[in-house]
Every structure is written in C-alpha cells, then in structure tokens.
C-alpha cells in the first residue's frame, strides 16, 4: 500500500515537472479526479449546460432493447466489461434489462481507483442481488490481460461517457489499437463519442455559468499545492475554455493573470509565468461520423452501428474487430 501510493506520487510529480517545464505549459486532466475533483465532476454532470451525460443516458434508456439485440447477447454467456466504470448510472440501465432477459453474463468493471470499484460494487450488489460481478483494479490493458487469463467467454467492452475525448486523435488511435490486441474476433466494443454540433452548445458545456468547470480545473492547482507543496494562488489564475470548429477540439486553460513565480517544494523548483501565459489543462475532442469510421478502420475495427439521442448530440458506436 505504502509503496504503491509512493510510486503514484512520483508519477504525479514527474508529470507536473514535465508539464510546467514545457512551452506551452500543460498539466494532465487525468489528475483532475482526486476526491474533490470527482465530486466536482458529479456536479458538472448535473449542470444544464453539460448535455453529454444526459444524451448518453437518453440513448441507454430509450434504446435498451436495440442495444441488447445489437450485442447479440442472447447467444452465449459473455462478460460485460466496463473501462473506467464511474458511478455506473448508464450501465445500470443495460444491466437491469440484461438480467430480465435471463441471460448469463458477468459484469466486470475495470478502474484504476479501488474506491470507485468498491463504491460501484456496493451499489450494484444492492440494486442487483443476482448480478455476477468481478472487479479488476488497474491500468485498462494490464487488467484486461489479467482478466483474459481468467475467462475465455465472449467480451463486450464498454468505454462510455466520452472519456475517449480526453485523448487527442493520435492517442485515441493508439488506445484502440492496444484494445484490439487484447480482443478476440467475436468480441465487441461500445464507445461513447460526443459529436460536433453548434459550437456555442459545446463551448457552454465547458464554460458553465456557475463556474463549476472553472473550479474543476482550479482544483488541480489545489491538489499540487497540497500533495507537492506548491504555492499556487488560485486568484492569480483564470479559467478559459475554447472550442475550435476545424479540429473539433474543446480545450481548457488556466491563464496566469500576471507575471508570477510559483514554487513547488517536492520538485525543488520554481516556475516563471508571463502575464496571460496559459497552462493547457484538458482536451475534449468532438467527432463526426467520418472521423469515427476512419478511427475504427485505422485501429482494426469496423462500425457495426451507431445509436443517437434525439438531438444527434452524441453517439454510442458499436465496433467489431475486422
């Protein structure tokens, strides 16, 4: 326990050092999710501007039967694997329906966070006493490799919530190529993509009127202050969100409001900021159908079907290996 948290801390420190020493400066959004960050993300999902969660939930609840049929889930026992399971709200709609069809499957949530897995397992055990659950903690690919040696059943892998959006295009392709490598030909992959739409709709989702998204970004500075002994003054930074309609990328920045120096004890270093210099915090990539098809093909899959919400804001895309 001691050594694994120490290792994690080193990685965090290393990444902060690398990001703040770069030009332009950046920090990785994967570090947003400490306890407070996870709480703020729950708040974001409830914001009127943050349409993503609502759209995906609409797809899952309105087209449960169609999704079930597209999975070909009735044919044989299978494993329903979820990468980065979160709080399981959308998945519970599927699980509920699947259980009522009287088919044999095991739900396998994979997450890096032990707490997230415990929380989800507790919730699902209460909600679905008959559900078979097998958790796998760790890095997605390693966890999938480990799991592969425990089960030879067909795998249906869920990667929901537009989590893929936090990868740039090249990174997304690398990710799916690695995923393909641990899948068999009859396995399936079900992915949530946020679609390109009115740029104003997208921008408001990342620049909400209650400034929850700003707090979500700022929280990473607080985390660096706490865990690495830094002296970031939050008032001297300002959250700025942008959406670029040509590359389809929403990006978040924390802008240094003035010339300032920040020191980080754990790194034994100081960092200079120019007035209005940005720290690039997060990318949330938006897709169109051609991009999704190209990405599938380039990583060894073909698109078997797409499910949309009523506004065509979002798609859950079903991929099969080719």
Select the span of 114-122, 158-166, 264-272, 291-299 touching ligand AVJ (CB under 6 A). Answer: 158-166
Q: 215 has which bridge partners?
A: none
Burial class (CB in 10 A: 0-12, 13-18, 19+), 87: middle
Shortest Å, Cβ 43 to ligand AVJ: 10
Nearer to ligand AVJ, 51 or 307 (CB): 51
Contacts of 286 (CB under 8 A, 6+ apart): 165, 194, 195, 196, 197, 202, 243, 248, 249, 250
Q: Is 26 in the site for ligand AVJ (CB under 6 A)?
A: no
**Applying CB under 6 A, which of residues 71, 206, 237, 307 lies at the interface with ligand AVJ?**
206
Nearer to ligand AVJ, 53 or 121 (CB): 53
Q: Is 44 in the site for ligand AVJ (CB under 6 A)?
A: yes
In angstroms, rounded to a whole number, what is the distance separating the alpha carbons of residues 287 and 121?
32
Shortest Å, Cβ 228 to ligand AVJ: 22
Q: Is 204 in the site for ligand AVJ (CB under 6 A)?
A: no
Contacts of 73 (CB under 8 A, 6+ apart): 98, 101, 103, 105, 156
Q: Is 213 in the site for ligand AVJ (CB under 6 A)?
A: yes
Q: Is 284 in the site for ligand AVJ (CB under 6 A)?
A: yes
Q: Rounded to 5 degrees, what angle do the CA atoms 88, 250, 172 make?
A: 65
Shortest Å, Cβ 301 to ligand AVJ: 21
**Applying CB under 6 A, which of residues 38, 106, 151, 163 lies at the interface with ligand AVJ?**
163
In angstroms, rounded to a whole number, what is the distance separating the alpha carbons of residues 319 and 301?
6
In angstroms, rounded to a whole number, what is the distance separating the alpha carbons of residues 109 and 164?
17
Shortest Å, Cβ 212 to ligand AVJ: 8
Taking a C-beta distance cutoff of 8 angstroms, is the pair 304, 289 a contact? no
Nearer to ligand AVJ, 206 or 319 (CB): 206
Q: Is 161 in the site for ligand AVJ (CB under 6 A)?
A: yes
Select the span of 103-111, 157-165, 180-188, 266-274 touching ligand AVJ (CB under 6 A). Answer: 157-165
Select the span of 13-21, 162-170, 229-237, 299-307 touching ligand AVJ (CB under 6 A). Answer: 162-170
Tell me the backbone φ, ψ of residue 189, rounded to 5 degrees: -130, 130
- State the residue number with the nearest CB to ligand AVJ: 284
Nearest to 320 by CA among 307, 295, 301, 305: 301
Nearer to ligand AVJ, 52 or 279 (CB): 52
Nearer to ligand AVJ, 28 or 225 (CB): 28
* CA-derived radius of gyration, the chain: 20
In angstroms, rounded to a whole number, what is the distance separating the alpha carbons of residues 213 and 241?
9
Q: 136 has which bridge partners?
A: 110
Select the span of 15-23, 61-69, 161-169, 263-271 touching ligand AVJ (CB under 6 A). Answer: 161-169
Q: Is 165 in the site for ligand AVJ (CB under 6 A)?
A: yes
Q: Count H helices, E strands: the chain?
A: 11, 14
User: Interface residues with ligand AVJ (CB under 6 A)?
Assistant: 44, 52, 161-163, 165-166, 206, 213, 216, 282, 284
């Amino acid at each position: 326990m001691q050594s694994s948290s120490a290792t994690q801390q080193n990685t965090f420190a290393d990444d902060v050092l690398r990001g703040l020493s770069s030009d332009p400066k950046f920090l990785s959004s994967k570090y947003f999710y400490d306890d407070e960050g996870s709480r703020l993300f729950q708040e974001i999902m409830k914001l009127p501007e943050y349409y993503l969660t609502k759209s995906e939930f609409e797809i899952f609840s309105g087209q449960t039967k169609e999704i079930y049929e597209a999975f070909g889930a009735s044919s044989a026992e299978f494993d329903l694997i979820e990468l980065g399971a979160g709080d399981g709200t959308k998945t519970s709609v599927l699980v509920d329906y699947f259980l009522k069809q009287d088919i044999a499957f095991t739900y396998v949530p994979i997450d890096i966070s032990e707490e997230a897995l415990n929380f989800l397992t507790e919730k699902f055990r209460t909600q679905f006493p008959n559900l078979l659950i097998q958790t796998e903690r760790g890095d997605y690919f390693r966890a999938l490799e480990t799991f592969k040696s425990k089960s030879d059943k067909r795998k249906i892998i869920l990667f929901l919530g537009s989590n893929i959006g936090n990868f740039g295009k090249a990174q997304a392709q690398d990710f799916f190529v690695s995923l393909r490598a641990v899948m068999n030909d009859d396995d399936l992959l079900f992915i949530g993509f946020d679609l390109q739409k009115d740029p104003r709709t997208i921008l408001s989702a990342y620049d909400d009127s209650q400034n929850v998204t700003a707090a979500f970004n700022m929280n990473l500075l607080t985390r660096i202050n706490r865990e690495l002994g830094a002296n970031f003054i939050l008032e001297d930074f300002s959250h700025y969100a942008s959406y670029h309609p040509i590359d389809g990328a929403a990006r978040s920045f924390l802008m240094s409001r003035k010339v300032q120096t920040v020191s980080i004890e754990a790194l034994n270093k100081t960092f200079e900021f120019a007035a209005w210099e940005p720290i690039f915090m997060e990318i949330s990539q938006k897709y169109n159908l051609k991009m999704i098809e190209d990405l599938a093909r380039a990583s060894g899959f073909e698109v078997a079907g797409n499910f949309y919400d009523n506004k065509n804001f979002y798609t859950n895309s079903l991929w099969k290996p080719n």
